Amino acid sequence: MSSPTFTNLIRFLDESSVKHYGDVINSSLDSIVGSVVQLLEGEQHDVAHVLPSVLLANNITTSKLLSPVPSTPLFVCIGLNYADHAKEANLAIPPNPVIFTKPSDALTGPYSDVPVPPEAELMDYEGELCIVISKTGKNIPEDKALDYVLGVTAGNDLSSRKWQRPPYSGGQFTYAKSFDYFAPIGPTILNGSLITSNAPLKIKTTVNGEVRQNGSTSDMLFNIEKIIAHASRGTTLRQGTIIMTGTPAGIAAKWPGQPWLKDGDVVEVDISGIGSLRNKLVFEKES
């Protein structure tokens, strides 16, 4: 992987509501909005094109943070990838990564409200580390996998557990997690070359300030390289794809009393080195 051309990439509106990419260098990851960041010049329609063509330019003030990627062809999601989560779910550790998907319209920003349709009952959160793929590949070997990583960001794999349970579902995951805006990500993309297995990242999820998940990527069963190699085996992994790498223990479904998310709840996912995404759930009424 080439040397970093950014540290923490963001996509944002300036004070004139013009879209830009920027690098958070001197600002706190907890207070990016309103701060001055370094402007990144590159292809604005596709974040994956910024890396090879980026040029540091003038400083600029952020007014609103957007999703760090403008779009994605697909979310590739990994289930049961933390040992403590497998234990709380009383499920056997799988021999290979468990893969399902979320559609592109699940994407939303780090501070956006998330509309929850009436059909999406038993709402749950899943704080996750997410990989942003920088170039298209297929049959990618593990020792080359990091060459395909633009960086990592934080995500919340929002889930309607109703649709993962009989009699509503045959046990499949995709429909339960595929409603529009059910995949907020951000606030920054940490450059992939700064990620090492020797420096695990902490993942913390809170609901209205109450800590629900407090894990570490050191508990992952399959690392980034193994996930990319498996996900691309015989399958084209498109540039801009976002891979959600699984969640640690502490989901609502396994908490005492199953404290499902409610209308107005604010879910925050914080990952060290990346920052916190914070989304309020807005439950829609039946028409």
Kindly write down the DSSP assignment for every residue of 178-196, as one continuous string: -STT-EEEEEEEEEGGG--
Mean pLDDT confidence for 171-195: 93
- Peptide bond preceding 110: is omega within 30 degrees of 0, i.e. cis? no
Cα–Cα distance, 275 to 273 (Å, whole number): 6
Could you give the C-alpha distances from 134 to 38, 46, 151, 184, in angstroms and in order?
21, 10, 8, 19
Confidence of residue 262 (pLDDT cuts 50, 70, 90): very high
Residue 223's contacts (CB-CB under 8 Å, 6 or more residues apart) are: 197
Please give the CATH architecture assigned to the domain spanning 75-283. Alpha-Beta Complex (3.90)
Q: Are strands 123-124 and 114-116 parallel, antiparallel or unpaired?
A: unpaired
pLDDT in tens, 45-72: 455 555 434 445 578 899 999 999 999 9
pLDDT at 15 over 70: yes
pLDDT in tens, 195-253: 877 789 999 999 999 999 999 999 999 999 999 999 999 999 999 999 999 999 999 99
Residue 52's contacts (CB-CB under 8 Å, 6 or more residues apart) are: none
- Which is nearest to 47 in space by CA: 73, 29, 17, 77? 73
Mean pLDDT confidence for 113-127: 97
Cα–Cα distance, 157 to 177 (Å, whole number): 7
Cα–Cα distance, 26 to 37 (Å, whole number): 7
**What integer pLDDT is reported at residue 33 of this predicted model?**
94
* CB distance 201 to 215 below 8 Å: no
pLDDT in tens, 134-159: 999 999 999 999 999 999 999 999 99
Going from N- to C-terminal start, the domains of the chain cover: 8-66, 75-283
Confidence of residue 186 (pLDDT cuts 50, 70, 90): very high
Query: Does the pTM of the predicted model rise above 0.75?
Result: yes
- Burial readout 165-186 (b: 16 or more C-beta within 10 A, e: otherwise): eeeebeeebeebbbbebbbbbb
Cα–Cα distance, 185 to 129 (Å, whole number): 9
Residue 83: enclosing H or E segment and its boundaries?
helix 83-88
Percent of the chain with pLDDT over 70: 93
